[in-house]
Homo-oligomer: A and B are copies of this chain.
Amino acid sequence: MQTKSISTQALQRLPMYLNYLKSLSNDKGTNISATAISEALSLNDVQVRKDLSAISGNGRPKVGYTKNTLIFDIEDFLGYHDNVDAVLAGAGNLGRALISYDGFNCYGLNIVAGFDTNNKIIGSEINGKMIFPMDKLNDLCNRMKIRIGIITVPAIEAQTVCDAMVENGIKAIWNFAPVTLSIQEGVLVRNEDMATSLAILSKHLTE
């Protein structure tokens, strides 16, 4: 994985480029230009050019990029070729769904274990991943040097779980609980607020 810094906006466009590139059939040629990508995705030409040159050194004037090399470079930049281990706290319905979802592997994310406070769930296995009691978080995170934590506990418990994760070396938190977490500098929280998404969709139907 490269460590060049790009803006969050640019980062959000990269998966879009990647999907477009992967959707192109091979008989459409092996090269692709930033202009062609920008036109297909209705994006600004200059912006696409800048995004791509920041993450790949393989563009050539008048020729563009070799498609497969560009796909590799984007995936590499996004960390899809690395495997990052993560833990998940809260093995309720949503947590179990995420642990069961094998698609994260394509993006380099590997959920190694789940944690819960419910004795009925602790000790069980979901998709081959063990569910441990919360007080084992410390041990496992430190031993396996886990850096990513996924929070799927109820809103009221989320801050406590977040604090425990950060205390044990977690640097990036994927939060599915509908709360704003307080965190110290250096830790990144990415909120995935399904309740809000649903509220916005539902409201639209009544407007």
The answer to whether B205 and A148 have CB atoms under 8 Å apart is: yes
Query: Which secondary structure dominates where chain A touches chain B?
Result: helix
Q: How many copies does the complex hold?
A: 2
A97-B100, A192-B192, A197-B192 are known contacts. Are A206 and B109 too (CB-CB below 8 A)? no
The answer to whether A201 and B41 have CB atoms under 8 Å apart is: no
| A177 CB → nearest B CB, Å | 8
What are 9 contact pairs spanning A and B, CB under 8 A? A1-B206, A16-B178, A19-B155, A19-B179, A41-B180, A108-B198, A174-B197, A174-B198, A188-B204
Q: Does A12 contact B (CB under 8 A)?
A: yes
User: Which one of B14, B16, B94, B171 lies within 8 Å of A101 (CB-CB)?
Assistant: B94
How would residues 45 to 83 of chain A score, 1 for a CB under 8 Å from any chain B CB and 0 otherwise?
Answer: 000000000000000000000000000000000110010
- A residues engaging B (CB < 8 A)? 1-3, 5, 8, 11-12, 14-16, 18-20, 22-23, 41-42, 78-79, 82, 84, 92-94, 96-98, 100-104, 107-109, 147-148, 155-156, 171-174, 178-180, 188, 190, 192-207
The answer to whether B82 and A93 have CB atoms under 8 Å apart is: no
Chain B residue, CB-CB nearest to A86: B201
Chain B residue, CB-CB nearest to A75: B199
A79-B203, A84-B202, A180-B41 are known contacts. Are A15 and B196 too (CB-CB below 8 A)? yes
**Residues of B close to A188: CB separation below 8 A:** 200-201, 204
| A7 CB → nearest B CB, Å | 11
